[in-house]
Amino acid sequence: MTLVASVTTPLLDLPPPQEAAAVFGTLIGAFSLSAVLVRVMRTRAVNREKRRDEGNLHRRFVSLGVLALTLGIAITAGGWVYFAFLAVCTTVAVAELLTVVGERHALLLALPAGLSIFFAPLGPMAAMAALSLALLPSALFALRPPYSVSVASSVVALAAGLILIVLPAMLLGVMRQYPDGYLLTALIILVPQISDAFALLFGRYFGQHQLAPRLSPGKTVEGAIGGLAAGITVSLLLSNGLESVGIAIAIGLGALLVGAGIIGDLVASTIKRSVGVDDFGRLLPGHGGLLDRVDSLMFAVPLGVFAYSVQMVMG
């Protein structure tokens, strides 16, 4: 199986029922457990500030649950429906990145980046060409007077968005068309996402030691440990249906995805801190923008695809 997908991508590409049940069962189980933990830990919210934080935590989990359900449906649908979902999410995330650097035409410039997702099934050459051409509108805008640093920042931000946002989305689109693509795509997405959610939960109630105080003061070592345990658990559950992935590989892959997710989150925090904003947007209550929610995938997706590909080659 090569990375070149068929040009006859169907509208829908539904997985076997047992695989869909495994993915949605994992989603439901993770959020049910998180809801129970929040309920049990409420006794720790003894003052007004903690109660306000608890309400924000509740909003985060509700909005994350809605996003996870939408994602689960899109992955399950497959085909062009899935690519359309990726295109919409990519356009929004790139537009948020452009907005924080002061670009007034953020959505207009982000649209070609989102549309380039549809070239991924045509093969790597078409995909790379589409990525390059997606930068053209921003370059043309930069050629208009008056010339300024902010205009150049928009070009650089869009280029960064193509690498950190669009390219991982293309990899997710192509990966879904692998023989084990449904479970593998779900694993690569859900491990860092669920890990991030549980890291927030454990960090909020048990966090004592900051993980990276200068970049992201809210992250704690205790939260990272809780997130790591959750991520490895999800990896073990979903890899059970992947014949080529044993227990040891599933644990290693889960740990790699969690670590890459933390790095992506810290990189996003660095970007926000450099431009003086707390969030990339306000689309998701309790989270900020869509990019605030999916920043953990910036490095987790390429690393997950690379690790799985190497494992397949080495047997």
Residues 30-39 have pLDDT tens digits of 777 776 776 6
Given this model, what pLDDT does residue 123 score? 84
pLDDT, tens only, 252-284 = 999 999 999 999 999 999 999 888 898 998 888
**pTM (2 decimals)?**
0.87
Span 93-104, average pLDDT: 91
The DSSP string of 39-105 is: HHGGGG--SHHHHHHHHHHHHHHHHHHHHHHHHHHHHHH-HHHHHHHHHHHHHHHHHHHHHHTT-TT
Place of tokens 């509108």: 137
Amino acid 121 reads P
- CA 112 distance to own-chain centroid: 20
Q: Which of 137-141, 228-232, 238-242, 279-283 has the highest mean pLDDT?
A: 228-232
Q: Left if phi > 0, otherwise alpha if psi is -120 to 50, otherwise beta: which for 223? A: alpha
pLDDT of residue 107 exceeding 80, the answer is yes
Q: Select the more confidently predicted residue: 133 or 154.
A: 133
Retrieve residue 254's tokens. Answer: 């889960």
Residue 125 C-alpha from the chain's centroid: 24
- Give me the residues paired with residue 289 across strands: none
Q: What is the pLDDT of residue 40?
A: 65
Q: What's the confidence (pLDDT) of residue 129?
A: 92
Nearest to 201 by CA among 31, 11, 3, 13: 31
Query: pLDDT digit string (tens) for 203-212?
Result: 877 878 888 7
pLDDT surpasses 50 at 120: yes
Name the pLDDT band for 180 (thresholds 50, 70, 90): confident
Region 143-150 average pLDDT: 61
> How many Å apart are CA 27 and CA 72, to the nearest integer?
8
* Structure tokens given for 108: 């207009």
Per-residue pLDDT averaged across 189-213, rounded?
A: 85
Query: Is pLDDT at 46 greater than 70 in this prediction?
Result: no
Are 242 and 184 spatial neighbours (Cβ–Cβ below 8 Å)? yes
Express as a percent the part of the chain with pLDDT over 70: 86
Give the per-residue pLDDT at 135: 85
Indicate whether 54 pLDDT > 60.
no
Q: 1 pLDDT exceeds 70?
A: no
pLDDT, the chain, mean: 83
- Encoding tokens for residue 70? 């939408």
Question: Is there a cis peptide before residue 146, judged by omega within 30 degrees of 0?
Answer: yes
Compute φ and ψ for 216, nearest 5 degrees: -145, 90
Tokens of 211: 């993980």
Mean pLDDT, residues 75-84 taken together: 91
DSSP 193-234: HHHHHHHHHHHHHH--SEEETTTEEEEEHHHHHHHHHHHHHH
**Which two tokens mark 119?**
């070239």
Q: Please, are residues 174 and 121 in contact by the beta-carbon 8 Å criterion?
A: yes
Beta-bridged to residue 216, according to DSSP, are: 212
Place 218 in a pLDDT band, splitting at 50, 70 and 90.
Answer: confident
